[in-house]
Amino acid sequence: MTSQDRKLQRNFFSRNAKIVAQELLGKILVRRLNNRKLKTKIVETEAYFGEKDPASRARQNGNLRKVMEDEPGIILVYGVHNNWLINFITGKEGKAEAVLIRALEPLNFKAKTCGPGLLTKALSIDKGFHHNNIINNKKLWLEDTINSDNEFEIVDSFRVGIKKDLPEKLRFYIKDNPHVSKK
């Protein structure tokens, strides 16, 4: 199996954000920085729905919603509280769904990645990645897990740090992982 085979393709993202959020857990996020590859494992995600989600800024920001309605696999970088947050567009076009990456586990380097703002700093992800494609990207992409490294338990809960939340559990994380921002 080549590295290309393990890359997550567009059909992975073209499903409901809630499903994609759960299946992204344990996947490998690779960031090519300078001359090395920084590998991280996704340990915490949240699903967002731009249209009816009171927590989503895409609700009032027309530009963000436009991106969320774009095709699945698009990277959405969003500035908040002087930090950058990274999302992946999911669902069918025009659906305005996205998955927020909240926490990562660094595999071959050390960094503080227990939070959406911290992980973007650790990987040098900024506004330059906005509206790029995760599927065909030279600097940032996702890979499926190589072997049976998928032995973990997924926990669902309500989202964190949000003023107005939906009455749904849209936050997912790997149980007992030390890099999750909150238990």
Could you list the residues that contact DNA (CB under 7 A)? 46, 48, 50, 55-58, 61-64, 66, 68, 76, 78-83, 85, 87, 98, 100, 102, 112, 114-118, 127, 159-163, 181-183
Token pair belonging to 105? 């586990």
* Closest distance of CB 163 from DNA, Å: 5
Query: What residues are paired with 36 via a beta bridge?
Result: 33
Least distance (Å) between residue 141 CB and DNA: 20
Of 3 and 178, CB closest to DNA: 178
| Cβ 144 vs Cβ 129: under 8 Å | no
Tell me how far apart the alpha carbons of residues 183 and 177 are, in angstroms, rounded to a whole number.
9
Question: Taken in order 102, 107, 112, 118, is the CA torsion positive or negative?
Answer: negative
Minimum CB separation of residue 162 from DNA in Å reads 5
CA distance 169 to 157: 5
Residue 78 beta carbon to DNA: minimum distance, rounded to whole angstroms: 4
Q: Which two tokens stand for residue 114?
A: 């227990």
Q: How far apart are the first and last CA of the chain?
A: 35
Of 117 and 144, which has the nearer Cβ to DNA? 117
26 or 50: CB nearest DNA? 50
- Minimum Å distance from CB 2 to DNA? 32
Return the bridge partners of 79, or none. 84
Nearer to DNA by Cβ, of 6 and 57: the residue is 57
Q: Given the complex with DNA, which of 68 and 174 has the nearer CB atom?
A: 68
Angstrom distance (rounded) from CA 24 to CA 44:
9
Q: Is 119 exposed, middle or buried (0-12, 13-18, 19+ CB in 10 A)?
A: buried
Shortest distance, position 159 Cβ to DNA, whole Å: 7
